[in-house]
Amino acid sequence: MEIYGLRCRCHPEDGVRYVGRTIRTVAKRFKGHRAGARSESAYPVYAWMRKHGVENVYPEILAVASSHEELARLELEWIEKLLPSGRLLNLIVVEQGVWVATAEYRANMSAAHRGKVLSEEHRAKIGAAGKGRKHSDEARAKMSASQRGRVLSVETRAKLSVAAKGRVYSDEARAKFSEAHKRRIDRATEVT
């Protein structure tokens, strides 16, 4: 298990431009990177490899790990160490010890999914996968806290209003809304 960096022979002064990890050998993982670059993948690291010539990019072992936990920790440390250079091509970076998708990565994912229409079969599978899933009390509290104090813009409220117009709820749904509202009122009166 190793942490590796990708460098370019034609610009050695740039140092490591990409940090990765592998449980296989670095040579095998690098073959995957070369294939990605040759397949015209839009990832920045592959565009960089094509720009400088795939044959000019080479891997360098940065660290060796003895467990998966150590591997993850070492990758995080190397990314944090090299991120300030501004030259790192990783799309997922570390901010204050947390993995975060970069703005560029989020924009790429958004563009890739824009206009995609899911088949009814796919939508049914997504729905079935979520059925019966329960959030823990801790997760529910976090979701609740994240929404507290949130103020919707006039534009957003108008869009929500338009979307809700003409919607007809079943008697079962209306009964559930009523019960939930009663519980909220009961809780509010208990607090006062």
pLDDT at 67 over 60: yes
**What is the per-residue pLDDT across 80-122, written as a single tens digit (0 to 9) for each?**
888 777 788 877 665 555 556 667 767 777 887 788 888 999 9
| 80 Cβ contact list (under 8 Å, min separation 6) | 94
> What is 2-110's CATH number?
3.40.1440.10
Report the alpha-carbon distance of residue 184 to residue 190 in Å, rounded: 10
Burial class (CB in 10 A: 0-12, 13-18, 19+), 143: exposed
CA quadruple 18, 74, 80, 17: dihedral, nearest 10: -10
Cβ atoms of residues 45 and 96 within 8 Å: no
Instruction: Of 65, 60, 59, give the one whose Cα is nearest residue 2.
Output: 65
**What is the per-residue pLDDT across 125-165, written as a single tens digit (0 to 9) for each?**
988 988 888 889 998 999 998 888 889 999 999 999 999 89
Tell me the domain boundaries of the chain. 2-110, 151-192
Locate the DSSP E strands across 28-134.
Answer: 57-64, 92-95, 98-101
pTM of the model: 0.51
Structure token digits, residue 25: 């050998």
What sign has the CA pseudo-torsion 110, 114, 120, 122?
negative
State the DSSP code for 98: E
